[in-house]
């Protein structure tokens, strides 16, 4: 499968972090998402119901970052992908979460990947 849907430049605010005080105030998180999905039906029909709605993806990600709280970005990424992968049309996903300018201007990030088992 070679089709993909990407949502880049998502800025969401949440309370995530292992260091003291990081959960006290919402901080920005920059998120990139790429999905592996068969878009043949969407191309043929020109029907939004035949594809993965990237506006809904965006809303789900922003909601989860805002409403949940984890010490590690790895766990946050895992929770986001678990929610997104409920859509059976998604064969795989790559999600990167960054904490902008956290380390004296440097931006650490974590990337998590999921591939749906065909069994």
- What would the DSSP string read from start to end of 61-110? HHHHHHH---S-HHHHHHHHHHHHTTSTTEEEEEEEEE-TTTBTTB--EE
The answer to whether 1 touches 28, Cβ cutoff 8 Å, is: no
CA atoms within 13 A on the CB side of 74: 2
Q: CA torsion angle for 14, 15, 19, 21 (degrees, to 10)?
A: 120
pLDDT tens sequence across 44-70: 999 999 999 999 999 999 999 999 999
Which residues does the annotation mark as catalytic?
99
Q: Domains, the chain, ranges and CATH?
A: 4-115 (3.30.1130.10)
Q: Which tens digits make up the pLDDT trace of 59-110?
A: 999 999 999 999 999 999 999 999 999 999 999 999 999 999 778 888 999 9
- pTM metric for this prediction: 0.90
């Amino acid at each position: 499968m070679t089709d993909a849907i990407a949502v880049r430049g998502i800025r969401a605010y949440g309370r995530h972090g292992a260091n003291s005080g990081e959960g006290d105030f919402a901080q920005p998180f920059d998120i990139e998402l790429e999905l592996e999905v068969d878009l043949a039906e969407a191309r043929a029909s020109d029907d939004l119901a035949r594809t993965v709605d990237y506006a809904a993806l965006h809303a789900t990600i922003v909601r989860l970052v805002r409403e949940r709280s984890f010490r590690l970005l790895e766990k946050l990424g895992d929770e986001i992908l678990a929610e997104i992968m409920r859509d059976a049309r998604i064969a795989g996903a790559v999600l990167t979460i960054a904490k902008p300018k956290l380390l004296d201007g440097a931006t650490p990030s974590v990337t998590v990947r999921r591939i749906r088992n065909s069994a």
